[in-house]
Amino acid sequence: MSSLQKSVSGFKASLQKASSNDRPSPSPVPSQVSNTGVSKNDLKRKRLDPTDTVYSQPLNTGTGTDIGSRIHYALEYLKKEQASKKADDVLGFLSLLDAAEMYKRKITDILKGHQKVLYDPIANTYTYRAFKDISSEEGLLKYLQNQPTAQGLKVFDLRDGWAGAEEAINKLEREGKILTVRNKKDNHPRMVWLDDPSLKFTVDPEFQDIWKQIKVPDAAAVATALQKEKLVPASKIHMQKKVIKVPEKKKKKARQGGKVTNKHMQGILKDYSHLSKDKEAKRP
């Protein structure tokens, strides 16, 4: 019996030991952080501003990579140089000396057929074509003289391909070979026409003195003299306005009496027309 009690007490002791080991561990207490002076927005995760992101940008080499861009820069190069250039000079400016032969040939073929490029097949040179091929004083005078009309030229067009256009225009104007119209704001020439110095002549000083001594009558005296001659000023002439006759509308005739119906019963029906309101109102 004593052995049985010992086994029971040992079993209870083992159960108590197992229950003590299975107790859940206490949950950790969150650390208290001082939030003094910190708002809720500051506790949120900050997002990167997309405008602050810096991406790598391509360098502006001034030559471009597309064939259209290369042709544009080639034209600007020829326009700036104002001289005939070899194909290697143009390709060197575009950094294409080491490019494929087919690509370089494509560039030169486009330049040969471009309307703003003058190609010399003998010297194999390329020149920027100025407006109407005018790039000198002699060229400007020749073009103006050979014109079938006296039409002027815009100075803005002459500057395209001719860097010294404005200086040459000022010189020719001082020499009396061309006429110009200038801008009021900056006094730069805007339009040019041909001028003939042979048409200019000097008037004798004696004749100028006689001309200045002639007294011009007043406007009122001129008007009085014209009225004496029965000449009416144009300002007093009144145009006679045409009177448009509007056709008169024909008045419709009033119907006399109403439509008579039941003619076959005129002898049977009685006449009550004398009892109408209009006739009663007319009675005294």
Give dist(CA 153, CA 132) in Å, integer: 10
pLDDT for the residue 194: 92
Tokens for 6? Answer: 């010992």
Cα-Cα-Cα-Cα dihedral sign, residues 105, 106, 111, 115: positive
| CA–CA distance, 254 with 219 (Å, rounded to integer) | 67
Going residue by residue through the chain, which has 284 residues, state the pLDDT in tens, using 9 for 90 and above.
556 677 767 777 776 766 655 555 555 555 554 555 555 555 556 565 555 555 554 444 445 568 899 999 999 999 888 888 999 999 999 989 998 999 999 999 999 999 999 999 999 999 999 888 898 999 999 999 998 888 899 999 998 888 889 999 999 999 889 999 999 999 999 999 999 877 778 889 999 999 999 988 888 888 888 888 888 777 666 555 566 777 887 777 766 665 666 667 766 766 777 776 655 555 55
If you search the block for the tokens 């079993």, which residue do you land on? 11
Contact 137, 178 (CB under 8 A): no
Task: Give the pLDDT of residue 3.
Answer: 65
Count Cβ atoms below 10 Å from residue 164 Cβ, excluding itself: 13
User: Is the model's pTM score more than 0.85?
Assistant: no
Structure confidence at residue 28 (pLDDT)? 56
DSSP the chain: -HHHHHHHHHHHHHHHHHHHHTPPPPPPPPP----TT--HHHHSPPPPPGGG---------SS-SSHHHHHHHHHHHHHHHTS-EEHHHHHHHTT-TTS-HHHHHHHHHHHHT-TTEEEETTTTEEEEPPGGG--SHHHHHHHHHT-SS---EEHHHHHTT-TTHHHHHHHHHHTTSEEEEE-TTT--EEEEEE--GGG--PPPHHHHHHHHHSPPPPHHHHHHHHHHTT---GGG--PPPPPPPPPPPPPPPPP-S-----GGGTTTS---GGGSHHHHHH--
CA–CA separation, 278 and 258 (whole Å): 14
List, in order of start, the domains of the chain with CATH numbers: 67-129 (1.10.10), 205-234 (no CATH)
Return d(Cα 171, Cα 161) in angstroms, integer.
19
Contacts 24+ apart (CB under 8 A), 269-278: none
